[in-house]
Chains A and B, each alone.
Chain A
């Protein structure tokens, strides 16, 4: 596996806040990496450092074999970066935006490429519309089209599907998989668990630190989280009660089901025993979902990213 992104010890500080803290990443060719983490965890900042938009305060490494500090021009030429906030020109039409991007990259056969991109997007009929007048989801699609126009080797996508409808999201992911099949490497940040599940590997960061990585199965396995699901009436009140029990780390509602998780399986089982005896509740041992793991990971860290003393331990005392 050749590393497309290989960086070590990246640090970025804004003011006195370490937004990215000693982050190391290795990303292989032709793979789709899901970049996950809560709001403000440093995903956007990391992506910006990878494509030369921000200079790391410390750390070094390569992107597509080019040094991220010295060769950012080369990296930019071969990378497509889709910003979290729409950053094409709202006062240009769809076609003009794509033409502009194509010319900046010095693309040949520009007309054909733009036509193809418009067709793929289903925007051919609206090519004369101003980008500013597009709905949010369509803007996202346009932005994606713009960043793959120059056929990059690496795609850095920052929440590309925020606000995009399910059908378009599926199309989008199908497209990403096709591109990856041709050897394109994708690092995509997202808050959607179903999207995370469509990635080959996930990278989970919190407070600027990488705290979990691997395939979904690997992440779930390494975190060895005992999980029970419970169904029944009054889940809302039940949830609050369960939260206070020793051994219960997190309680999360998934529709009409509660997931009750704990790292200490025995303690958890002991705590929930009285509730399992209740006839109206239907308990079942399940495997944790990715989201359970993430909520668990987050619950274990305080606001500064340091491991938190578990709240449940304290409230368990009478």
Chain B
């Protein structure tokens, strides 16, 4: 026997091509998915987010303050959502992640300014994601007298020339040193869970079908919900092990300050794990072989990774990408985990991001049960 026979090699080659062509769905995914993702992510990703939501706390309403706020918006980096609020509200909004910045204008700002006392205005930034806030912070700190150009008239005109007549003081909250790990490690929990949970369950029913054991299973008196729950619950346990490992690593390897309740975290995690398992189960009812199931998982995982705010700042994405991102459970879970671990969020704070995960879980479970075939038709 020759070591390498060209005709034998051709035989294998031809067979592979035939098989590849026959599995249309897989083939389509191999061709279409990269293209779609290229476009999706090419347009969606932006590491220089603009128009970040901010809120103002104004102790004194004067021409100066109004001009100042307008000048801040003109940098293009921040956008005030609604009218100025009081201290407590701004604190809550920051904690819940509704705004990225809170701008505090102190009392007697105008007066101090006029007297040349260089009043300080305080910019509080939610710095959990240092990447998201970096450029905005520089832009705000670069504000100078030109911001007030219309108001510096008459005797004040001289202020225009010198150093800025006011000081911008920055207070980075939640991650003062801007340590990227603080943001990444908790987020990683969501990413790891999405990847493994969806993939494992997407194989669950597909494997039965591919191995032929589905026929026997269906011939026995089992109900779809029994199959689904029975297949999902072992992985919830696996998910919990992962959560524990990541929390321990966050604490002991990366020294991430754990602010919030771990109990609350585990409650949120169970909902998130279940939501991912339900997605996986739905995939496994849709695919005809394990390869397809894997591809569907990837198809779900990549947008989760890129559009959820894990890799790139969520607020930097165009609106359509944010809408897509809001539909993914990982987006909400990231906010929940970061909220609990970094900001010490409580139940009330995380609920706005918890119910979308619950809704997602309900929708995916219903879809999975509807798609689950009780027959071989």
Complex CA distance for A53 and B215, rounded to whole angstroms: 8
Q: Are B216 and A52 in contact (CB under 8 A)?
A: no
B218 contact from A53, A79, A86, A101, Cβ within 8 A:
A53
B216 contact from A54, A73, A87, Cβ within 8 A:
A87
Complex CA distance for A53 and B216, rounded to whole angstroms: 9
CB-CB under 8 A from A72, the residues of chain B are 374
Q: Are A51 and B219 in contact (CB under 8 A)?
A: yes
Q: Are B375 and A52 in contact (CB under 8 A)?
A: yes
Chain B 209-228 residues near chain A, CB threshold 8 A:
211-223
CB-CB under 8 A from A18, the residues of chain B are none
CB-CB under 8 A from B220, the residues of chain A are 76, 101, 104-105
Is B377 located at the chain interface by the 8 A CB criterion? yes
**Given A83-B219, A105-B221; A54-B375 close (CB under 8 Å):** yes
User: In the complex, how many angstroms separate the beta carbon of B340 from the nearest chain A beta carbon?
Assistant: 39
CB-CB under 8 A from A85, the residues of chain B are 212, 215
User: In the complex, how many angstroms separate the beta carbon of A141 from the nearest chain B beta carbon?
Assistant: 15
Complex CA distance for A86 and B219, rounded to whole angstroms: 13
What is the chain B residue whose CB lies nearest that of A143?
B216
Complex CA distance for A86 and B211, rounded to whole angstroms: 9
Is A35 located at the chain interface by the 8 A CB criterion? no
Chain B residues bordering chain A, tally (CB within 8 A): 17
CB-CB under 8 A from B376, the residues of chain A are 48, 53-54
CB-CB under 8 A from A146, the residues of chain B are 216
Chain A 30-65 residues near chain B, CB threshold 8 A:
48, 51-55
Q: Are A83 and B211 in contact (CB under 8 A)?
A: no
CB-CB under 8 A from A83, the residues of chain B are 212, 215-216, 219
**Given A104-B222, A105-B221; A90-B211 close (CB under 8 Å):** yes
CB-CB under 8 A from A77, the residues of chain B are 221
User: In the complex, how many angstroms separate the beta carbon of A289 from the nearest chain B beta carbon?
Assistant: 34
Interface of A (DSSP majority class): loop
B221 contact from A48, A54, A73, Cβ within 8 A:
A73
Contact with B along A77-91 (1 / 0, CB 8 A): 101010101111110
What is the chain B residue whose CB lies nearest that of A57?
B377
**Given A83-B215, A86-B212; A76-B377 close (CB under 8 Å):** no
What is the chain A residue whose CB lies nearest that of B223?
A73
CB-CB under 8 A from B214, the residues of chain A are 87
Most chain A beta-carbon neighbours within 10 Å: one of B213, B217, B223, B376: B213
Most chain B beta-carbon neighbours within 10 Å: one of A51, A77, A83, A105: A83
User: In the complex, how many angstroms separate the beta carbon of A186 from the nearest chain B beta carbon?
Assistant: 16
CB-CB under 8 A from B212, the residues of chain A are 83, 85-87
CB-CB under 8 A from A73, the residues of chain B are 221, 223
Contact with A along B180-215 (1 / 0, CB 8 A): 000000000000000000000000000000011111
**Given A54-B375, A54-B377, A55-B377; A89-B213 close (CB under 8 Å):** yes
**Given A88-B213, A90-B211; A76-B219 close (CB under 8 Å):** yes
Chain B 337-377 residues near chain A, CB threshold 8 A:
374-377
User: In the complex, how many angstroms separate the beta carbon of A90 from the nearest chain B beta carbon?
Assistant: 7
Chain A 173-212 residues near chain B, CB threshold 8 A:
none
Binding site for A on B (CB under 8 A): 211-223, 374-377
Complex A-B, nearest 5 residue pairs according to Cβ-Cβ distance, in ascending order: A87-B216, A81-B219, A76-B221, A77-B221, A87-B215
**17 examples of A-B residue contacts, CB within 8 angstroms:** A52-B219, A53-B376, A55-B375, A73-B221, A76-B220, A76-B221, A81-B216, A83-B212, A85-B212, A85-B215, A86-B212, A87-B212, A87-B214, A87-B215, A88-B213, A105-B220, A146-B216
